[in-house]
């Protein structure tokens, strides 16, 4: 499990030096489907949930921390 500091450092470096955007690195993003955040917003006629987005990216970071 990453600390908040480790995650912030990972995310900053990933977004600064990677060609990927937030959605491309989100663990909740399925290539063959709309992400859970967009589905939730559409189904409930509301805006996107920043917490869901944050947790998806954090889960991705934790799962891929050792991969270069």
State the pLDDT at residue 58: 86
DSSP for the chain reads: ---HHHHHHHHHHHHHH-S--TGGG-TT--TTS--HHHHHHHHHT----HHHHHHHHHHHHHHTTT--
Question: Does 36 map to a domain?
Answer: yes
Question: Does 30 map to a domain?
Answer: yes
Query: Which structural domain, as residue segments, surrounds residue 37?
Result: 4-63
Number of domains in the chain: 1
Question: Does 68 map to a domain?
Answer: no
Question: 12 pLDDT band (50/70/90 cuts)?
Answer: confident
Q: What is the reported pTM?
A: 0.63
Least Cα distance to 26 among 55, 57, 50 occurs for 57
Across the range 9-32, mean pLDDT stands at 77
Question: Does 51 map to a domain?
Answer: yes
């Amino acid at each position: 499990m990453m600390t908040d500091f480790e995650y912030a450092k990972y995310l900053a470096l990933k977004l600064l030096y990677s060609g990927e955007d937030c959605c491309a690195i989100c663990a909740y993003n399925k290539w063959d489907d709309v992400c859970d955040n967009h589905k939730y917003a559409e189904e409930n006629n509301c805006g996107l949930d920043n917490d869901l987005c944050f947790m998806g990216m954090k889960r991705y970071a934790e799962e891929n921390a050792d991969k270069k």
